[in-house]
């Protein structure tokens, strides 16, 4: 029932924030790092001023809230409940909770808001990821591919990627410019994937799994290629090129700094 607030550049003991009765389940921090929202098994949402540690209860829910996210402008909070409801609460003023989506058969375990504030996303017990327009609340698309509960959802800082993590041991990495593109599937985890975080430059994704390993993945093809070229000692040979690329396609080095493979003749053109 205690939140620990740590300063990354300090060796001081963590600040303890205590306002919930029971386990704290989800936290969300505003982009300016000035405010924090929390929720737990007591079904309350608490807003914290990080500088002063002052807090106030924003809302109470009839069903337990499993995940929350605060909008970039700090005007509203999104939560997903055990009743399968995706709910919006205003931070200021006396407003009724607004139910964006509801399906009692599928509790919602993960929610996120894009950094631009234009897209809301939820992930449920069945493994479905749903996207909604943040203004109209209209559903944009359902994303499939997971076989079990969604545990975490994250937009990259530049909003070009959406990552979904599941009990099925997979992460799916979606191109937000075209959600109809097939996602990149990261499935070398040995068990449940609990949480994820993007690097500040959006080039890498870090994942935490129940196997107690932390994994780092590049999120762009260029970064993947650069990383691979640092791990090998040569480019592919003529036989590999013909088999996997095509004998009718002119050979070229894929890693510019590495020597060509066996059987390759490169003619320098002056």
What's the pLDDT score for residue 266? 64
Compute the distance between CA of residue 233 and CA of residue 110 in angstroms, rounded to an integer.
42
Q: Which pair of tokens denotes residue 226? A: 């650069």
What's the pLDDT score for residue 11? 84
User: Rounded to an integer, what is the distance from CA 77 to the centroid of its chain?
Assistant: 17
pLDDT in tens, the chain (270 residues): 788 888 888 888 888 888 888 889 899 998 888 899 999 888 889 999 998 999 999 888 888 999 999 999 989 999 999 999 999 999 887 677 899 999 999 999 999 999 999 999 999 999 999 999 999 999 999 999 899 999 999 999 999 999 999 999 999 999 999 999 989 898 888 889 999 999 999 999 999 988 888 998 888 777 777 778 888 888 888 888 889 888 888 888 888 888 887 877 665 554
Are 196 and 173 within 8 A, CB to CB? Answer: no
DSSP per residue, 11-23: -SPPEEE---SS-
What's the pLDDT score for residue 148? 94
Compute the distance between CA of residue 257 and CA of residue 250 in angstroms, rounded to an integer.
19
What's the pLDDT score for residue 268? 57
What's the pLDDT score for residue 270? 46
Are 27 and 17 within 8 A, CB to CB? Answer: no
State the sign of the Cα–Cα–Cα–Cα dihedral 124, 125, 128, 129: positive
- Is this prediction's pTM over 0.75? yes
């Amino acid at each position: 029932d205690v939140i620990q607030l740590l300063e990354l550049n300090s060796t001081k003991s963590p600040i303890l924030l205590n306002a919930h009765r029971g386990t704290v389940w989800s936290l969300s921090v505003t982009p300016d790092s000035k405010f924090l929202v929390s929720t737990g098994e007591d079904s309350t949402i608490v807003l914290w001023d990080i500088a002063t540690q002052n807090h106030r209860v924003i809302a109470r829910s009839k069903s337990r809230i499993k995940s929350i996210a605060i909008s970039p402008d700090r005007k509203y909070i999104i939560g997903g409940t055990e009743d399968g409801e995706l709910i919006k609460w205003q931070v200021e003023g006396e407003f009724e909770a607004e139910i964006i989506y509801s399906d009692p058969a599928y509790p919602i375990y993960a929610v996120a808001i894009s950094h631009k504030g234009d897209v809301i996303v939820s992930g449920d017990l069945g493994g479905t990821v749903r996207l909604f327009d943040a203004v109209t609340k209209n559903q944009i698309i359902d994303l499939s591919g997971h076989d079990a509960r969604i545990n975490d959802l994250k937009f990259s800082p530049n909003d070009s990627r959406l990552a979904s993590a599941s009990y099925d041991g997979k992460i799916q990495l979606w191109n937000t410019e075209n959600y109809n593109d097939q996602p990149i599937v990261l499935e070398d985890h040995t068990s449940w994937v609990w949480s994820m975080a993007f690097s500040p430059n959006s080039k890498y994704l870090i994942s935490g799994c129940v196997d107690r390993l932390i994994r780092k993945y590049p999120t762009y093809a260029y970064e993947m290629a650069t990383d691979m070229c640092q791990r090998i000692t040569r480019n592919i040979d003529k036989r590999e090129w013909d088999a996997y690329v095509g004998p009718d396609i002119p050979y070229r080095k894929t890693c510019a700094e590495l020597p060509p493979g066996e059987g390759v003749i490169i003619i320098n053109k002056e």
